[in-house]
Amino acid sequence: MCIFCEIIAGNIPSTKVYEDDMILAFKDINPVAPVHIIVVPKEHIESAADINESNSKYVAHIFEKLPEIAKSQGIESYRIINNCGEDAGQTVKHLHFHLVGGVKMGEKII
Ligand code: 5GP
Ligand code: ZN
């Protein structure tokens, strides 16, 4: 099992901030901003390059819930980051979106 599947299964502890039958959101262990939440589908999808007709519902659901998750953390403006593949810096091979905020980030993407 990958590390995020272990977190979903409850085998590795995490600070959960939102959960339903399709997705889980928890605090990043190494936050880069005052708010840094990881949002994952409960189905193991390796990366954004593996989204297809049968699993895209998870991505849609994540984006439907992101504003509510952000609000629960006290922010309404945030950056959503997905690292897809090696060169982009994806270290955990389970599709996830970083919800980052609580700080003025400026206009540069990287
Ligand atoms: P990536 O670099 O793959 O886009 O992001 C992986 C993220 O997962 C990193 O920001 C890292 O800090 C976080 N992370 C890795 N392992 C764990 C863990 O065991 N628990 C939590 N809460 N976050 C983790
Ligand atoms: Zn997984």
Helix (H, G, I), strand (E, B) or coil at 45: coil
pTM as predicted: 0.98
Q: pLDDT tens digits, the chain, 110 residues: what are they?
A: 999 999 999 999 999 999 999 999 999 999 999 999 999 999 999 999 999 999 999 999 999 999 999 999 999 999 999 999 999 999 999 999 999 999 999 999 98
- Using CB atoms within 10 Å of the CB of residue 38, give its burial: 0 to 12 exposed, 13 to 18 middle, 19+ buried: buried
DSSP code, position 73: T
CA 30 to ligand 1 centroid distance, Å: 7
**Residue tagged 């939102």 (tokens):** 18
30 within ligand 1 shell (Cβ under 6 A): yes
**Is the CB of 81 within 6 Å of ligand 1?**
no
Among this protein's residues, is 96 annotated catalytic?
yes
Amino acid (one-letter) located at 52? N
The number of residues in the chain equals: 110
Neighbours of 101 (CB within 10 A): 20
3-state helix, strand, coil in the chain (%, to 5): 25, 25, 55
